[in-house]
């Protein structure tokens, strides 16, 4: 589907501020008209031309390289002009003002990518991969974003969607031709295909989940009683003196945050107020906030002082209820005081790491434990840098296929199974953007940078 946009858009594609080169990009129907006005020459397609850029009084604003990409062979699929000039904020502004005076408007964030999507140059997952590549916080994430941009994720989703469509057609045809005595409800092929699709979906979900850790990071909340060394652990993990550490119980009141990489896995770490009953109104608020953060956490690092811990059995620890409903690692801190060696164990079904936040001994073991607990693997083969919306769509597709199987095997309801397959197909096609609501598109592209 080719969408014709009547208005032509322009924006600086390079970051604002001073730099060697700045690029201004223009896309749309008016590009051909403004080239002679702006450059006083014609541009051959896709060839670099060194030329002055003129204002309305024939004064030279700047000079540099001009490139013309006639449609459809451009990023947006429209006529595109790129002007590479000097990277000074004032000169770029003058050039943009001149372009805007020629009946062109400033592009919204992500509008070039949105046009590329609407003109069928890239699908939605690829458009998102562009933003992810720009925003990548590690080499690993950047490589994965590039692979999605090249269409690897989309291809996998399309293959799966085709399998669903194929099966759906088969089921629907079987319903229509019941007279021909095709006993499709007992057709093993249908059930087998559904199970195969379900397995395929599970595998993709697994890879996508891995990728979503890489893209969005996990949130780990450090919690525990006062004075056990929570803030010391935050400082140690982040390598900065973020939190105040004192031997006064109840030092931390506010929620403190940092963002770190554990071998390329991004993690938001949050330090919280020590949990205890307190009459102090400020501390009470801090404890309330600590609970609030724990409720949202992907992982809780529950810190205990090893000196107290040893005298207790884990069962005797007075844990807040929330701790039992989240993945948790028990961090037995201050082993330097007991001369223990760092270790990583499982005790009564819980992950326990013995370390010293003061000396840093054992902190690497904690990092390894965090990675294995969230299922993070270093190898990137087959992982997709998925967004939450992709995971959500994959989960829905998975649930619909599961329902379809149930309709067929338990209730012998062929029509309902066909409907479930249709819903599974719809959920999958949201990922590549074949069926996506306009407001979702708006939300996705508005988070892009201007000029992209
Ligand atoms: N020897 C030793 N002391 C530690 C260790 N970790 C923390 N401490 C000390 O324990 C005291 C409390 O440390 P914090 O990091 O402030 O503890 P906290 O859990 O954040 O305490 P609150 O904010 O009051 O809840 C400080 O005196 C730290 O120096 C450790 O591994 N070994
Ligand atoms: Mg603290």
Report pLDDT digits (tens) over 238-259. 999 999 999 999 999 999 999 9
- Please tell me which residue, 292 or 443, carries the higher pLDDT value: 292
**Interacting residues of 308 by C-beta distance below 8 A, sequence separation 6+:** 228
Probe target for ligand 1 pocket from 245, 303, 334, with the most ligand atoms within 8 Å of CB: 245
- Taking the centre of ligand 1 as the mean of its atom positions, its distance from the CA of residue 233, in whole angstroms, is 8
| Distance between Cα 262 and ligand 2 center (Å) | 22
Helix (H) or strand (E) holding 399: helix 388-409
Atom number, ligand 1, closest to the C-alpha of residue 224: 19
Which bound ligand lies closest to the C-alpha atom of 248?
Answer: 1
Assess contact for 294 and 320: CB atoms under 8 A: yes
pLDDT at 182: 55
Q: How far is the CA of 272 from the centre of ligand 2 (A)?
A: 7
Distance 231 CA to ligand 1 centre (A): 7
Nearest CA to ligand 1 atom 16: 245
* Strand-pair category, 265-271 with 328-333: unpaired
DSSP-based three-state secondary structure for 132: helix
Q: Which of 11, 30, 43, 52 is nearest to 102 (CA)?
A: 30
* Residue 302 alpha carbon to ligand 2 centre in Å: 13
Residue pair 68/81 in contact (Cβ under 8 Å)? The answer is yes
Which residue CA neighbors atom 17 of ligand 1 most closely? 229
Pocket test for ligand 1, best of 225, 227, 333, 361 (most atoms within 8 A of CB): 227
Q: CA-CA distance, 100 to 284, in Å (whole number)?
A: 56
Confidence of residue 87 (pLDDT cuts 50, 70, 90): very high
Pocket test for ligand 1, best of 222, 226, 229, 335 (most atoms within 8 A of CB): 229
What is the whole-number distance in angstroms between the Cα of residue 307 and the centre of ligand 2? 18
Point out the ligand 1 atom lying closest to the alpha carbon of residue 249.
24
Pocket of ligand 1 (CB under 6 A): 226-232, 245-247, 249-252, 273-274, 333-334, 336-337, 356-358
pLDDT category at 424 given cuts 50, 70, 90 is very high
**Whether the Cβ atoms of residue 100 and residue 36 lie closer than 8 Å to each other:** no
The DSSP code for 326 is S
> Is residue 379 over pLDDT 70?
no
Report the nearest atom of ligand 1 relative to the CA of 227: 21
The Cα-based distances of 32 to 14, 61, 142 in angstroms read: 23, 20, 35
Average pLDDT value for residue range 439-452: 78
Sheet holding 343-347, edge to edge: 256-262, 265-271, 218-224, 299-305, 328-333, 350-354, 343-347
pLDDT at 2 over 70: no
Does 181 score more than 50 pLDDT?
A: no
Cα 301 to ligand 1 centre (Å): 15
* Ranges assigned E (strand) in 321-418: 328-333, 343-347, 350-354
Q: How far is the CA of 236 from the centre of ligand 1 (A)?
A: 11
> What is the atom index within ligand 1 of the atom nearest the CA of 303?
19
pLDDT tens digits, residue range 39-58? 999 999 999 999 999 999 99
Cβ atoms 333, 303 nearer than 8 A: yes
| 139-165 residue pLDDT tens | 888 888 898 898 889 999 999 999 999
Answer whether the bond into residue 72 is a cis peptide, omega within 30°.
yes
Beta strands in 263-373 (DSSP E): 265-271, 299-305, 328-333, 343-347, 350-354
CA of 304 to the centre of ligand 1 (A): 10
Q: Is the pTM of this model over 0.75?
A: no
pLDDT at 248: 93
pLDDT at 186: 66
- pLDDT category, 178, cuts 50, 70, 90? low
Please give the number of the atom of ligand 1 that sits closest to the Cα of 232: 15
450 neighbors 12 (Cβ within 8 angstroms): yes
| pLDDT reading at 1 higher than 80 | no
- Residue 300: name the closest of 210, 223, 228 by CA: 223
**Averaged pLDDT score across all residues of the chain:** 89
Task: Determine if residue 334 is left, alpha or beta; phi over 0 gives left, psi from -120 to 50 gives alpha, anything else beta.
Answer: left
- Report pLDDT digits (tens) over 258-275: 999 888 788 999 999 999
Q: Would you call 112 exposed, middle or buried from its count of C-beta atoms within 10 A (0-12, 13-18, 19+)?
A: buried
Neighbours of ion ligand 2 (CB under 5 A): 230-231, 251-252
pLDDT of 3 > 70? The answer is no
Residue 91 in tokens: 């000169």
Q: Whose CA is nearest to atom 13 of ligand 1?
A: 229
Separation CA 186–CA 213 (nearest Å): 41
Q: Is the pLDDT of residue 366 over 70?
A: yes
- Scored b (16 or more CB within 10 A) or e, 120-159 reads ebbbbbbbbbbbbbeebeeebbbbbbbbbbebbbbebbbe
Return the number of other C-beta atoms located less than 10 Å from residue 422's C-beta. Answer: 17
On whether the CB atoms of residues 335 and 358 are closer than 8 A, the answer is: no
Domains of the chain: residue spans and CATH: 9-123 (3.30.1360.120), 134-213+387-433 (1.20.120.430), 217-374 (3.40.50.300)
Ligand 1 centre and the CA of 376: distance in Å?
A: 29
Query: Three-class SS string for 141-177?
Result: HHHHHHHHHCCHHHHHHHHHHHHHHHHHHHHHHHHHC
Mutate to test the pocket of ligand 1, among 230, 232, 256, 300 (most ligand atoms within 8 A of CB): 232
């Amino acid at each position: 589907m080719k969408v014709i946009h009547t208005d032509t858009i322009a924006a600086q594609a390079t970051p604002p501020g001073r730099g060697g080169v700045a690029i201004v990009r223009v896309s749309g129907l008016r590009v051909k008209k403004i080239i002679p006005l702006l450059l006083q020459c014609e541009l051959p397609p896709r060839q670099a031309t060194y030329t002055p850029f003129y204002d309305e009084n024939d004064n030279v604003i700047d000079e540099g390289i001009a490139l013309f990409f006639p449609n459809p062979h451009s990023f947006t699929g429209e006529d595109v002009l790129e002007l590479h000039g000097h990277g000074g904020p004032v000169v770029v502004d003058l050039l943009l003002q001149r372009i805007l005076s020629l009946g062109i408007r400033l592009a919204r964030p992500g509008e070039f990518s949105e046009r590329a999507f609407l003109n069928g140059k890239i699908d939605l997952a690829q458009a998102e991969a562009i933003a992810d590549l720009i925003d990548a916080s590690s080499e690993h994430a950047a490589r994965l974003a590039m692979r999605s941009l090249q269409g690897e994720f989309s291809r996998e989703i399309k293959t799966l969607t085709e399998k669903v469509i194929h099966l759906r057609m088969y089921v629907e045809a079987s319903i229509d031709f019941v007279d021909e005595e095709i006993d499709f409800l007992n057709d093993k092929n249908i059930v087998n295909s559904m199970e195969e699709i379900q397995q395929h979906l599970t595998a993709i979900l697994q890879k996508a989940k891995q990728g979503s850790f890489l893209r969005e990071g996990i949130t780990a909340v450090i919690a525990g009683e006062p004075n056990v060394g929570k803030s010391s652990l935050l400082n140690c993990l982040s390598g900065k003196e973020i939190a105040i550490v004192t031997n006064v119980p109840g030092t931390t009141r506010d929620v403190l945050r940092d963002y770190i990489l554990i071998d390329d896995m991004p993690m938001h770490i949050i330090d919280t107020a020590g949990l205890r009953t307190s009459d102090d109104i400020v501390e009470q608020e801090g404890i309330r906030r600590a609970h609030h953060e724990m409720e949202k956490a992907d992982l809780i690092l529950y810190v205990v002082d090893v000196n107290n811990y040893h005298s207790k059995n884990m069962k005797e620890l007075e844990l807040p209820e929330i701790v039992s409903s989240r993945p948790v690692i028990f961090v037995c801190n201050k082993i330097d005081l007991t001369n223990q060696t760092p270790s990583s164990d499982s005790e009564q079904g819980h992950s326990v790491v013995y370390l010293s936040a003061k000396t840093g001994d054992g902190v690497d073991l904690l990092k390894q434990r965090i990675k294995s607990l969230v299922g993070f693997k270093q190898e990137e083969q087959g992982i997709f840098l998925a967004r939450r919306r992709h995971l959500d769509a994959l989960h829905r597709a998975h649930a619909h296929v599961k329902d379809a199987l149930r309709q067929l095997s338990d209730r012998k309801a062929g029509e309902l199974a066909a409907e479930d397959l249709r819903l599974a197909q719809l959920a999958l096609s949201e990922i590549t953007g074949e069926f996506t609501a306009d407001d979702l598109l708006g939300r996705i592209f508005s988070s892009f940078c201007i000029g992209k």
